[in-house]
Chain A
Amino acid sequence: MVTRGRGDAVTGAGLRAAREIAAAVPDPELPMMTLADLGILRRVTAEDGHVVVTITPTYSGCPALAEIAHDVRHRLAQAGFAGVIVRTELAPAWSSGQITAEGREKLRAAGIAPPGEGPRAGGGPGDPVPLTLTMARREPVACPRCGSLDTERTAAFGPTACTALFRCGTCREPFEHVKDV
């Protein structure tokens, strides 16, 4: 195996290969999703002959971030990229609107209702965030199994930081929904 990295320039083709590998790393908590699907891979660049992978956390306390960074380094090392640097970037903050169309399809196929397409509706920059005083939602969440819109939220938080729990009134199945943030 050719060891790329330390000392050598990372070529354009090498960088493209590195980007593909990083983009395909699965999320440890939603393994059907890649970093690219989730929208948490910000960029892959080269610095002083090293590949630099920049990722952003979904939530401030997300315990998966350290696992993701390790996995990115591990997979790139296996492909011959030595000394890969993984950086975190906080701004602009991740929003569920950054999940790709392909990512939404994968979630649905796995029985998880994807979030809405855009960021949560709110005021302009600097305006106070509007309060939501009821459990009712502006747009209903479609059941990922039967498509019914007759669904209700059973819990505001789910098994991972990014999901909430719902139940379908038509097929009666419970399901997870990736929260709109």
Chain B
Amino acid sequence: MTEDDDFAAYQSLSEETEDHRWAFGTGFSDPLEGIDTSVPDGVDAAALAAYCLMLGDDALIYSHRLQQWVTRMPELEEETALANIALDLLGQARMLLSRAGRAEGAGRDEDRLAFFRTEGEFRNVRLVEPADADFAELAGRLLIFSAWRLALFGELAGSADPVLAAIAGKGVKELTYHRDYAAQWVIRLGDGTALSHARMQAALEVIWPLFGELFRTDAVVARLPGVAADPARLRPEVDGVLEAVLAAATLDRPEGAPMAAVAGESGRDGVHTEALGYVLAELQSVARAHPDATW
């Protein structure tokens, strides 16, 4: 290796390029560049776009909530962990939104979809919207989210859409790591002191009303046989994971009733909690103030 190699990535930033990079990691290009994104024969393209938007929105909103913890964590190690998890989810969101835009065929790219849709156009589950009140809530929500998404991506790795299958197959490895991280914290807190146990149990009670919605079958899923995964089928695996973690953590499974839908509609239909508006206000502010900016 020459001395040049050490600095190549940084030197090339100072050269005139066409991709407008101004710092390491900027100059974003389409995350699916060079990948064949044609929709397979027999697959409903509009439904595929809607489905990828749902899964992309889950990751985008939750990634933003996790990013809000950065600079607020008690230890640098946990802050690094959360930033890494948020980055993995942001990567998944970028690919899924890009997939949605291509399948839709209306010329919307990942940025257009992330920054220029209103609350009612977002399709994420409501679990990812509220701000965590404390670290116990963070660990509990991350455990539920990653156990559910891992079960989902495990199914989607065999999807008839090769792009969705590839995104999911890659995500499985990341989500496995996220789930283990969250599970280990839930156990440390639950099986810790009387105070940490009480707060971990209380956190689960707060999150629980948003658990049931994760398994609601959706009309979009029904239009995508062999491509999408029926959420109801994921329940046994997720229940099994939670049972094992809660037992090791000496915690009780909450029994609270699910949060009601509004006239039968919830997150997947664009009906959200009040919290989503605040997330979007922050997430979209720069893009909306400077619509011609590049990054």
On A, residues with C-beta under 8 Å from B are 25-26, 28, 31-32, 54, 57, 59-64, 66-67, 69-71, 74-75, 85-95, 120, 126, 128-129, 131-135, 154-159, 161, 165, 179, 181
Contacts and interface: CB of A to CB of B under 8 A. Distances in A.
Given A31-B6, A133-B183, A66 B28 contact: yes
B27 A66 contact: yes
Mostly, the B contact residues are helix
B93 to A, nearest CB: 9
A138 to B, nearest CB: 13
Contacts of A95: 173
B151 A155 contact: no
Contact of A93 (B26, B78, B166): B166
A179 B169 CA distance: 17
Contacts of A26: 1, 5-6, 8-9
Nearest to A159: B80
B88 interface: yes
B84 interface: yes
Interface stretch (B41-49, B236-244, B254-262): B236-244
Complex A-B, nearest 8 residue pairs according to Cβ-Cβ distance, in ascending order: A61-B91, A60-B91, A87-B34, A63-B25, A155-B77, A90-B166, A91-B166, A28-B9
B89 interface: yes
B279 interface: no
Interface of B: 1, 5-6, 8-9, 12, 15, 17, 19, 21, 24-29, 31-35, 77-78, 80-81, 83-85, 87-92, 94-95, 150-151, 154, 158, 162-163, 165-167, 169-174, 176-177, 179-181, 183-184, 187, 237, 240-241, 244-245, 248
A135 B187 CA distance: 11
Contact of B169 (A75, A93, A159, A165): A93
A88 B32 contact: yes
A131 B174 CA distance: 13
